[in-house]
């Protein structure tokens, strides 16, 4: 029995899907692999910083850095852990997916900081910073 052209194409697509599924993992697995890779890189940075602190800073009792502190620093744009900038760079590299080099990312961050500083300086020259109305004290004569 002869197959129609549409049936041949359907079967061909089904075979290609099976081959692709066998060769490449599905999308959730790829995301899981990328997430695991990022976690491993961040844990390596954290372990290295903790080892450095234990080796060189023995006079002060500094607390160990943990993963949640670094993630919180990144989310709040702080650097209390001391390694948030390095971890932030790792995440930015992962988000760029190889499209931007580390040098390009650092240059973009530096340019952003320069623009923010210029914007702040321009604001100071034009208008003084005034307290918000609800922070002004009003005398109570009653």
On average, the pLDDT of the chain sits at 78
Does residue 1 lie in a domain region? no
Tell whether 7 is covered by a domain: no
Mean pLDDT of 113-138: 68
Domain for residue 82, yes or no?
Answer: yes
Q: With respect to residue 64, please indicate whether it lies within any of the assigned structural domains.
A: yes
Rounded Cα distance, 120 and 114, in Å = 10
Task: Give the Cβ contact number of residue 3 at 10 Å.
Answer: 10
Q: Is residue 60 part of a domain?
A: yes
Q: How many domains does the chain have?
A: 1
* Domain-located, residue 8: no
DSSP-derived 3-state class of residue 11: helix
Closest CA to 97 of 30, 26, 20: 30
Exposed e or buried b for every residue in 8-34, given b needs 16+ CB within 10 A? eeeeeeeeeeeeeeeeeeeeeeeeeee
Residue 43 lies in a domain: yes
pTM equals: 0.53
Q: Rounded distance, CA 49 to CA 78, Å?
A: 17
Using a pLDDT cut of 70, give the percent of the chain over it.
75
pLDDT at site 44: 92
Portion of the chain with pLDDT greater than 90, in percent: 4
Q: Rounded mean pLDDT of 57-61?
A: 62
| Domain assignment of residue 32, given as a range | 25-97
């Amino acid at each position: 029995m002869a197959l129609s052209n549409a049936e041949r194409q359907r079967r061909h697509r089904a075979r290609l899907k099976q081959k692709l599924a066998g060769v490449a993992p599905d999308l959730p697995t790829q995301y899981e692999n990328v997430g695991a890779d990022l976690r491993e890189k961040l844990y390596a940075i954290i372990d290295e910083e903790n080892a450095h602190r234990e080796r060189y800073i023995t006079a002060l009792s500094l607390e160990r850095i943990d993963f949640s502190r670094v993630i919180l620093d990144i989310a709040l744009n702080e650097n209390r852990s001391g390694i948030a900038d390095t971890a932030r760079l790792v995440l930015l590299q992962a988000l760029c997916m190889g499209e931007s080099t580390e040098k390009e990312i650092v240059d973009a961050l530096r340019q952003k900081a320069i623009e923010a500083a210029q914007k702040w300086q321009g604001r100071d020259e034009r208008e003084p910073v005034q307290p918000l109305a609800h922070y002004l004290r009003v005398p109570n004569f009653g």
